[in-house]
Amino acid sequence: MNDVLYIGWTPPTPLGIIWVAANETGLVAVSLGDELEIFNAELAAQRPRAQITPDEGRTYLFTSQIAAYLTGERTEFDLPIDWSMMTPFQQKALQATLEIPRGETRTYGEIATLAGSPGAARAVGRAEATNPIPLVIPCHRVLNADGKLHGYSGRGGLETKAWLLKLEQAEI
C-alpha cells in the first residue's frame, strides 16, 4: 500500500522533542526524543512504500495533545489510531493497555488475560516493547508481576517510565 505519512513534532517537552507520524486514518507512530533521521529511517523500514512528508498542520492535533499531556495540562488523549501495521495479538494487547486508566497500572499477565490470552505475559511484554505509539498507548503503565518497573523502550528507559508514572501519580 502506498500511503502518505505526515510527520510533525512537539515544541520541547520535559522528555525533549516528540516526533509523530500520522496518515488519513490516524496516529501511526510516536518517537520520544530520537533524531528526525532515526525516526524517518524507522518509518521507512516499517512502511517502505510510504511517502514521508513533514506537515505541522496535519499533525497538530497529535502534537498539541502530547505536549499538553507532558506538561500536565491534559490528562488523557482523544486521538484516532491506525492499528493496521500491528499484528492481531499486538492490537489486542495494546488495546487492553489503552484501557488502563491514568494513575493505575497493570501487570503483563493482567494484560494477557484482558487480551484473551492468559499465560501470554511474555508475548505481551514483546507487544509492549514494540509499541509504535508510546505515551498515547500507555505501555509505561504495564509492570512486572512483582509490581516493579521492567523495561521501557522509549528514550531514557526506566527513568522515563518512572517519570511518566509520577506525572500520572501512579503508585509503583
Which long-range contacts (C-beta less than 8 Å, at least 24 apart) are formed by 71-78? 71/13, 71/14, 72/167, 75/102, 76/102, 77/136
- Residue pair 41/33 in contact (Cβ under 8 Å)? The answer is no
d(CA 62, CA 72) in angstroms, rounded, equals 16
Which residue is listed with cell 497529535? Answer: 62
Which residue is listed with cell 500520572? Answer: 168
Pairing type for strands 51-54 and 4-9 reads: parallel
Pick from 33, 145, 133: nearest CA to 79: 133
Active site residue 139: yes
Active-site hit among 29, 94, 124, 139: 139
User: Would you name the residues annotated as active-site residues?
Assistant: 139
